[in-house]
Structure 1
Amino acid sequence: MVDPSALDEETLTADTADEEVRPDDRIDDERHDEENRLKPQYVRGVRDALEAGDKGAVYDLVEPLHPADIADLIELFDSDERAQLAASITDLMTSDVVAELNDHVREVMMEALDPGAVATIAEQLETDDAVQLLEDLDEDDQKAIIAELEPETQAAVNSALAYPEETAGRLMNRHVMAVPEHLTVGDLIDYLREEGDLEHDFFEVFVIDASHHPVGTCSLNWILTTPRTVALTDVMKRDQTLIPVSMDQEEVALMFQKYALISAAVVDDSGRLVGQMTVDDIVHIISEEAGEDALLLSGAGDGDINEPIREAYSSRVRWLIANLGTAVVASAIIAFFGAAIEQLVALAVLMPIVASIGGNAGTQTMAVSVRAIATNQLTRTNTRKILWKELRVAVLNGATVAILIGIAAGLLYSPMMGAVIAAAMIINIAVAGLAGVLVPVIFERLNQDPAVASSVFVTMITDSMGFFAFLGLAVVSGLVGMG
């Protein structure tokens, strides 16, 4: 054992010079702030060097960065500056950097490069990352780039692109450690030691039969702690979770979550092993799906700050127009009771309160329902049960809010006005609770994403019902007349 005290500073420096810089080591340096984000003054320094045409200075400033930080730096620059920056740090633009880039930024940059350069980058990536690099490009660009790939990579990419987007077949890693079932543990260990192509990470070894069907799995810790003479069939786990190539990525993520998986085999329609999904892929999917659902609920499209203006406009304006149409319904109800509103200004003052509280209650229930559908907690089996539960919660919430607003309106205006707005509040919040469950469920039954337009319709229902219940009760109670 070496005595640490015997090592001088020069030796320590030499021994650690080639070590990879960890994220924690970069915090509070001249490039990163305390939250490990690139400092504005550092970014300005790179931009100044770029504008001055000093490629050497740009390279020296960027070279120490981690690939993920280089990707962040590129995204901080304007679109017309990114190509210039990439040209200044050509050999730093590795596949790791490209894989970390925002989808919109990567697409624009790949379109600016010639097919051979993109093919060189794609060759360095795992198949799933290479597919992600190519899938959003124009078909002509795709074909030109794929033609430049090595035959093996070309076949893998074409195979992946043949599957629908956001399915296991498109996202799976085709590097799989699979061995025949007749081996012993010792045979497997010898094979792993002698095999030269083990660059990819794997957490378990898949055991397959003669038809290439997976029959079991062996975790690495089992292999290392089992005597060499034991047959794999005696130590492997036969009960395994198999993922069809056509399974949607959201369903794959739910399987990993439900069964606490680290990796899982992906099989084709005939049950043959064709790839695997690993937990690092799932973390990305979960993050992507959660963000996507939140944005769809608001009608904000991709919600990406790098999204082109035309695409952002197109994805958002259609829901605003739809919302305009639903708002007309609520306005028509108000117009129908116009004469009654003219008789009592208090109705106009209190109407927005009924609609607003109902809308918020509907949004709460809708958010819970969309999440429950996404996580398979709300299914055909328990829809009635969940509907009944949410209705009871809505009535309790409505009664609580109704008491408060009823007392306030009774003191400010009249006891009858307090009773009317209290009753309207209970009705609207109860309707909001029903709509918050039923609208997403109906969309899901129609094979549509329940997050896409639920908010527009729930808002229409709660606004319309709020106005109708409040103004209708005011007329029925004799508080005001219709003419």
Structure 2
Amino acid sequence: MSDTDPETPVTPADELDEDVELDQPRLRLVRDAIAADDGPAIDALLEPLHGADIADLLEQLDDQPRRELLRLWSGGIDGEILSELDETIREEILAELPADEVAEAVRELETDDVVDLIENLESETQADAILASLDDVDRVAVQQALTYPEFSAGRLMQREVVIAPSFWTVGQAIDHLRNAPDLPEQFYHVILTDPRMRPVGYVTLGKILGAPRETPLAEIEEESFRTFEVTDPESEVAYAFNQYHLISAPVVDADDRLLGVITIDDAIRILDEEAEEDILRLAGVDAEESLSNRTLGVVRRRFPWLAVNLVTAIMASIVISQFEGVITEIVALAVLMPIVASMGGNAGTQSLTVAVRALATRDLTGANVWRVIRREVMAGGINGVAFAIIMGIVGLVWFGSPMLGVVIAVAMIINLVVAGLAGVGIPVVLEKVGIDPALASGAFVTTVTDVVGFFAFLGLAALWLL
């Protein structure tokens, strides 16, 4: 006999496991519920999901199913979902939502999240509508934050701060926290200030709760205390959070007065975005590209770097054309050329990836750059010798020519040594001249390894085989 009451309808959500993450079965059931115009089923499927999972779900749906889901779903978009959405999708969804629902969602966000939301909107009408939905205090805070430079600490900070005079005791701080009507939903430190509202230290909530009431707050300050100026680049802020294991840090103006606070979740987001940008740029992809972009937008973003790649390929072809006679007489060279170029390109990419990431994390500096270059060159040489032996044997067995094996072996050593040198040297030089190494290094390294590889292989063949 079934445990399920036969008179109780079974919703699609009942078919799922107890896990409430967005998996393929749940996504399939959501699609089916949209197709069936079944609002209650959608409610049951989405109700247990985290806001980030709902944001992922909306990003995976096409335009029309997404609009249908928003029409059928009674839960509605809240601030958490809105902040997690991809920028392109978020703007489209905001255009579909009623003004009162947008206002309610925005009021749930911290001021730094509202700033992030507005600065990425292309529609001024939507931005004005969001600002109009805020309370007066929050509106002024957001408008002021938007006057600071883009990608600065002022854009990253939130204005919701918990402060206490530096002369208070633990008991006074606890009483204040219990009676405060508008504490932030999440905070990690109580910031200590002097009479001029300049931050002089901070105390963790754990130490406040664990110390006797009569203990002065100044006696239990954290040693990690540091401040950031409102104009500091957000990349510098994120680096400091990672380097010094910060949880939160005050932001001050030019007179050292407290303006807001940056928390670790925002710093981690910046670190994640910078790492993602490096990966995309190494592949010649615009850092703003995402799966939500339209086809024409993808074409427009990728075309310039494909054009650069075409130019570098033509340069390699020009080198090859100088040895047309050699290739005509020894056809085996045409078969083996791609091997030399490919091995050099892959070795260069390995060194390049390590160097670009080390530059981003400031592990590669002027103090150790020559040591790293020597290491990469030596690694390239050792790998070159190892693969030269292999390819020398392959050339001998495959084509029956000992000298052909020697030629490809020597060319392999030369190209892998140059690949190690170029993979580190090029991004270091580009950074010195103010060019993003992640953005431009790939094209240069590929060009160097292709040109050197072809020139070494075909040049040695012309000298030793003819």
Q: What TM-score does the superposition give when structure 1 sets the normalisation length?
A: 0.87
Note if 1:131 corresponds to 2:118: no
Equivalent residues in 2 for 1:172-187, closer than 5 Å: 172-187=157-172
Q: CA deviation at 1:52?
A: 4.4
Equivalent residues in 2 for 1:127-276, closer than 5 Å: 127-138=111-122, 140-141=124-125, 142-237=127-222, 240-276=225-261
Give 3-state SS (helix, strand or coil) of 2:249's partner. Answer: strand
Give 3-state SS (helix, strand or coil) of 2:231's partner. Answer: coil
Contact in 1 for aligned 2:430/2:437 (Cα 8 Å): yes
Q: CA deviation at 1:116?
A: 5.3
Note if 1:365 corresponds to 2:325: no
Relative distance call for 1:331 and 1:119 in structure 2 (3 A) is same
Contact in 1 for aligned 2:37/2:72 (Cα 8 Å): no
Distance in structure 2 (CA, Å) of the matches to 1:129 and 1:185: 31
Distance in structure 2 (CA, Å) of the matches to 1:475 and 1:332: 16
1:71 maps to amino acid: A
Equivalent residues in 2 for 1:41-440, closer than 5 Å: 42-113=26-97, 117-138=101-122, 140-141=124-125, 142-237=127-222, 240-301=225-286, 302-411=288-397, 412-440=399-427
Residue matched to 2:8: none
1:463 maps to amino acid: D
Q: CA deviation at 1:29?
A: 6.5
Contact in 1 for aligned 2:21/2:49 (Cα 8 Å): no
1:111 maps to amino acid: A
Contact in 1 for aligned 2:199/2:257 (Cα 8 Å): yes
Contact in 2 for aligned 1:33/1:39 (Cα 8 Å): no
Q: CA deviation at 1:204?
A: 1.4
Give 3-state SS (helix, strand or coil) of 1:215's partner. Answer: strand
Distance in structure 1 (CA, Å) of the matches to 2:91 and 2:239: 29
User: Of 444, 461, 464, which aligns to 1:474?
Assistant: 461
Give 3-state SS (helix, strand or coil) of 1:240's partner. Answer: coil
Contact in 2 for aligned 1:122/1:133 (Cα 8 Å): no
- Most deviating of 254-263 and 57-66: 57-66
Q: CA deviation at 1:231?
A: 2.2
Distance in structure 1 (CA, Å) of the matches to 2:39 and 2:91: 24
2:79 maps to amino acid: S
The gaps in structure 1 that reach 5 residues or longer are 1-27
Distance in structure 1 (CA, Å) of the matches to 2:32 and 2:454: 58
Contact in 2 for aligned 1:264/1:277 (Cα 8 Å): yes
Q: CA deviation at 1:43?
A: 3.7
Contact in 2 for aligned 1:31/1:38 (Cα 8 Å): no
Cα deviation code 1:293-341 (max 9, x no counterpart): 1121112324521122222111112111110110000000001111111
Distance in structure 2 (CA, Å) of the matches to 1:197 and 1:315: 45
Residue matched to 1:455: 442
2:87 maps to amino acid: D
Cα deviation code 1:369-391 (max 9, x no counterpart): 01100110012232222222211
Distance in structure 2 (CA, Å) of the matches to 1:83 and 1:376: 45
Residue matched to 2:428: 441
2:428 maps to amino acid: V
Distance in structure 2 (CA, Å) of the matches to 1:50 and 1:345: 61
2:321 maps to amino acid: A
Q: CA deviation at 1:32?
A: 5.8
Distance in structure 2 (CA, Å) of the matches to 1:219 and 1:73: 37
Relative distance call for 1:446 and 1:139 in structure 2 (3 A) is farther
2:86 maps to amino acid: N
Name the % identity: 44
Q: CA deviation at 1:90?
A: 4.8
Q: CA deviation at 1:238?
A: 5.6
Distance in structure 2 (CA, Å) of the matches to 1:34 and 1:407: 56
Relative distance call for 1:129 and 1:31 in structure 2 (3 A) is farther
Q: CA deviation at 1:262?
A: 1.7
The gaps in structure 2 that reach 5 residues or longer are 1-12
Contact in 1 for aligned 2:153/2:234 (Cα 8 Å): yes
Distance in structure 1 (CA, Å) of the matches to 2:81 and 2:330: 65
Give 3-state SS (helix, strand or coil) of 1:433's partner. Answer: helix
Distance in structure 2 (CA, Å) of the matches to 1:35 and 1:329: 54
- Most deviating of 216-225 and 111-120: 111-120
Q: CA deviation at 1:156?
A: 1.6
Distance in structure 2 (CA, Å) of the matches to 1:170 and 1:401: 51
Give 3-state SS (helix, strand or coil) of 1:205's partner. Answer: strand
- Most deviating of 301-310 and 352-361: 301-310
Contact in 2 for aligned 1:167/1:247 (Cα 8 Å): yes
- Most deviating of 112-121 and 333-342: 112-121
Relative distance call for 1:385 and 1:29 in structure 2 (3 A) is farther
Count, aligned residues: 451
Residue matched to 1:464: 451
Q: CA deviation at 1:81?
A: 2.7
1:444 maps to amino acid: E
Relative distance call for 1:218 and 1:311 in structure 2 (3 A) is same
2:237 maps to amino acid: V
